[in-house]
Chain A
Amino acid sequence: MIDLHHAIVLGVLLFAVGLYGALRTTNAVRILMCIELMLNAVNLNFVSFARLAAVSGTAQAAVPGQVFAIFVMTVAAAEVAVGLAIILQIVRQRGVVHIDRINLLKG
Chain B
Amino acid sequence: MSFLDGLAALAPTIGFFVLAVIILVSAWMVSHARRITHAAFFMVLVFTGVAGVFVLLGADFLAGGQVLVYVGAIAVMFLFAIMVSDLKEISDAETRARGAGTGSAAAGGTGTRKVWFVLAGLVTVGFAGLVLAALARSGLPAGAVGAAAGPGTTAPIARELFTTFLVPFELASVVLLVAMVGAIVLVAREREEEVE
Contacts and interface: CB of A to CB of B under 8 A. Distances in A.
Contacts of A48: 57, 145
A21 B161 CA distance: 34
Interface in B20-69: 20, 23-24, 27-28, 30-32, 36, 39-40, 43, 46-47, 50, 53-54, 56-59, 61-62, 65-66, 69
Given A20-B121, A82-B182, A91 B90 contact: yes
Contacts of A1: 9, 12-13, 144-146
B172 interface: yes
Contacts of B7: none
A66 B153 CA distance: 9
A78 B147 CA distance: 31
Nearest to B135: A8
A15 B175 CA distance: 25
B164 to A, nearest CB: 8
Given A47-B57, A88-B84, A12 B50 contact: no
Contacts of A102: none
Interface in A29-46: 29-30, 32-34, 36-37, 40, 43-44
A80 B117 contact: no
Of the candidates B30, B141, B151, the one having the most CB atoms from chain A within 10 angstroms of its own CB is: B30
Interface of A: 1-10, 12-27, 29-30, 32-34, 36-37, 40, 43-44, 47-48, 50-52, 54-56, 59-60, 62-64, 66-67, 69-71, 73-82, 84-89, 91-93, 95-98
20 contacts: A1-B13, A10-B24, A12-B131, A16-B124, A37-B43, A40-B70, A47-B59, A52-B141, A66-B153, A73-B65, A77-B74, A79-B179, A80-B74, A81-B77, A82-B186, A87-B85, A92-B85, A95-B89, A97-B85, A98-B93
